[in-house]
Chain A
Amino acid sequence: MSSEMITPAQTGAVQMQPTKTPGKWAQLWLDIKKNKVSYYFLAPFLILFTIFTIVPIIMSVVLSFSYYNIIETPRFIGFSNYKLLFVDDDIFLKAVGITLKFAIITGPIGYIMAFLLAWLISQIPQKFRFFYTLCYYVPSITSAVAMSVVWLYLFAGDRKGLLNHWLIQLGIINEPYLFLQNVDSIVPVIIIVSLWMSMGVGFLAFLAGLQNVPTDLYEAGSIDGVKYRWQELWYITIPCVKPQLLFGAVMQVVGSLTVFDVSMRLVGFPSPLYAGHTIMAHLFDYAFIRFEMGYASAIAVLLFALMLGLNRLIFKVLGRD
């Protein structure tokens, strides 16, 4: 007991107490040995994860400080990649703006929509649920590549485009509108298509999580005076599915900030006047068209920092229990 009381006071002078420091390490080692089963469970994941994710991430971060064109060996150039990004690369700054604009709209709307739809579906009897889940989830099963057939036709710029045709028939517009070429409509079109595809893994996690909420909690709630469905939602359901909400939010941030596929398939690459140019598009440009891997890595590191910052915020709000 007494040694535990003293320890906090001694932290300032760790070096002075040679007998205490090994004690702490030995304690840690004992803890590790005691929990070795837990580490066995983790081992396969951690080994593969280290080889194929951690090592490549470290390599990318190191590369971001170098000039590397894949053929020659990397040359260390310090911070110039980052300097170039912020000072001289106007297109990058534009891409950041477009990505943020996109993320601010699709992020919250897609998230709330996914949760509300999952909640509504969980309100109806079991046997009907499957059909509705199918309706809402199938759009995100389809890959952007496959669906470009449909969207290109729907938004086509001439009168043969389905949307233009309908709008002209209804008398709303007189001549075809160039949805995919017009700088003003490019971002809205990408947003619409992304929202359509946005019932992703978050939606399914919500759905499964909602069904996991123990039924007796609702009974207890109705005894305690919960009358309306929204009260039930706010006081019982949401606290119960907090883990899934956190998961969904993190996935939503990652998804909204890495939008690229939809943009590339719909408005082409590079898009007219860079109107659909996102951070990911910029990264793709430098990584696989210009083969400047150092510069591309620097973009990736910045994107990573952006997401990490946003997710810190989310963890604070939805945080641990």
Chain B
Amino acid sequence: MHKLNLRRIDYGGIFLYLFLTVFGLIMLLPLVYMAVTALKPTSELFLFPPRFFVVNPTLVNFRDLLLITGTSAVPFSRFIFNSVIVTSGIVVGGVLISAMAAYPLAKHNMPFKSAIFNMIVAALMFSPLVLQIPQYLLISRSGLMNSYFAMILPYLAAPMGMFLMTQFLRQLPDALLEAARIDGASEWKVFWVVVIPMLKPAISTFALFSFISAWNDPYPSMVYTTVQEMKTLPLAIQTISGGAGVVARVGTLAAASFLMILPTILVFILTQRMVLQTMAHSGLKE
């Protein structure tokens, strides 16, 4: 950290840690509760008085979840496989396409630049709910139904990713780009060698975000597929648990929710590590 902090190890610092820790733990509580609920046996789920922690933890909820899914015609692993394919397609493709679009919009000077940028940012604000019907018509007319493409293509050009990366590129100095150009690098090379490394924090932020939304979204598989083999995890779980609010399966639902959230936390840990590491060796800090 910078000088100011090293000099003052003061009450302010102690208070800062105290505040961050207490508030952080409060923020985590509901999540802890969910993990705990997933481990509760039925006898403890509806106890009175209610109890926060579990006394006799059991894995019965997870077993129930797998048993219910075991009776369906398609193995559970197939849903996981579909989800992984679709999500990684959206994340990798989306990051690349958005980064490529952000580079000229932030650092080049060309006709229609601000018009294109403004248009994309404006589109960010149009309600996705109403776009679903026209998008569905496009997909079904083009014969892409029941393919991975149908679940990936509509989500590749994400205005949010473009916007985020443009804003990051604006923060970074032009000098590095100039240096590379003077050394005779082509624009494509500048992009890969200079821009992409500089963009790493934005890339991992957006990758995390697009992973989460793609992973949790049951909609594409609900609408763009008609066969069981092409369904993804969130839709499968939604159908298994019988929807939210079904009392008899609170435990199973908690277990399913827990399983859904686990990969997102893992991806979060991976991408955040990347942000912090990039920062530590950032070319900006001499």
**A and B are partners in one complex rather than unrelated chains:** yes
Q: Which residues of A contact B (CB under 8 A)?
A: 28, 31-32, 35, 37-39, 41-42, 44-46, 48-49, 51-57, 59-60, 70, 117, 120-121, 123-126, 129-139, 141-143, 145-154, 159-162, 165, 196, 200-201, 204-205, 207-209, 211-212, 214-216, 218-219, 222, 226, 229, 232, 240-241, 243-244, 246-247, 250-251, 253-254, 258, 265, 268, 280, 283-284, 287-288, 293, 296-297, 299-300, 303-304, 307-308, 311, 321
Count of residues in B whose CB is under 8 Å from the partner chain: 105
Which residues from 210 to 250 on chain B have a C-beta closer than 8 Å to any C-beta of chain A? 212, 216, 234, 238, 244-245, 250
For B272, the chain A residues whose CB sits under 8 A away are: 130, 133-134
Expressed in whole angstroms, the Cα–Cα distance for A136 and B19 within the complex equals 13
By the criterion CB–CB under 8 Å, are A41 and B127 in contact?
Answer: no
Q: Is the interface of A mostly helix, strand, loop or mixed?
A: helix
Q: What's the least CB distance linking B76 to chain A, in Å?
A: 18
By the criterion CB–CB under 8 Å, are A54 and B27 in contact?
Answer: no
**Closest residue to A214 on the B side, CB-wise?**
B284
B163 within 8 A of partner (CB): yes
Given contacts A28-B111, A48-B157, A251-B160, contact A287 B268 (CB under 8 A): no
Which residues from 186 to 217 on chain B have a C-beta closer than 8 Å to any C-beta of chain A? 187, 191, 201-202, 204-206, 208-209, 212, 216
By the criterion CB–CB under 8 Å, are B130 and A45 in contact?
Answer: no
Given contacts A48-B157, A135-B27, A204-B208, contact A300 B126 (CB under 8 A): yes
For A124, the chain B residues whose CB sits under 8 A away are: 1, 16-17, 20
Which residues from 233 to 284 on chain B have a C-beta closer than 8 Å to any C-beta of chain A? 234, 238, 244-245, 250, 253-254, 257-258, 260-261, 264-265, 268-269, 272-273, 275-276, 279-280, 282, 284
B31 within 8 A of partner (CB): yes
By the criterion CB–CB under 8 Å, are B30 and A196 in contact?
Answer: yes
Q: What's the least CB distance linking A38 to chain B, in Å?
A: 4
Q: Is the interface of B mostly helix, strand, loop or mixed?
A: helix
Expressed in whole angstroms, the Cα–Cα distance for A37 and B103 within the complex equals 11
By the criterion CB–CB under 8 Å, are B209 and A204 in contact?
Answer: yes
* Known pairs A46-B101, A53-B123 / 10 extra A-B pairs, C-beta < 8 Å: A46-B157, A49-B120, A117-B20, A124-B1, A142-B261, A146-B258, A146-B261, A151-B30, A152-B244, A201-B160
Mind listing 10 A-B residue pairs with CB under 8 Å?
A38-B104, A45-B101, A53-B131, A142-B261, A150-B31, A208-B204, A211-B279, A243-B168, A250-B124, A258-B127
By the criterion CB–CB under 8 Å, are A39 and B110 in contact?
Answer: yes
By the criterion CB–CB under 8 Å, are B244 and A265 in contact?
Answer: yes
By the criterion CB–CB under 8 Å, are A41 and B100 in contact?
Answer: yes
Q: Which residues of B contact A (CB under 8 A)?
A: 1-5, 12, 16-17, 19-21, 23-25, 27-28, 30-31, 33-34, 37, 46, 48-50, 52, 97-98, 100-101, 103-105, 108-111, 116, 119-127, 129-131, 133-135, 137-138, 153-154, 156-157, 159-160, 162-164, 167-168, 170-172, 187, 191, 201-202, 204-206, 208-209, 212, 216, 234, 238, 244-245, 250, 253-254, 257-258, 260-261, 264-265, 268-269, 272-273, 275-276, 279-280, 282, 284-286
By the criterion CB–CB under 8 Å, are A208 and B131 in contact?
Answer: no
Q: Which of A126, A147, A253, A308 contacts B257 (CB 8 A)?
A: A147
Given contacts A39-B110, A143-B260, A229-B4, contact A212 B124 (CB under 8 A): no
Given contacts A41-B187, A145-B244, A246-B167, contact A219 B2 (CB under 8 A): yes
**Closest residue to A62 on the B side, CB-wise?**
B134
For B25, the chain A residues whose CB sits under 8 A away are: 135
By the criterion CB–CB under 8 Å, are B104 and A41 in contact?
Answer: yes
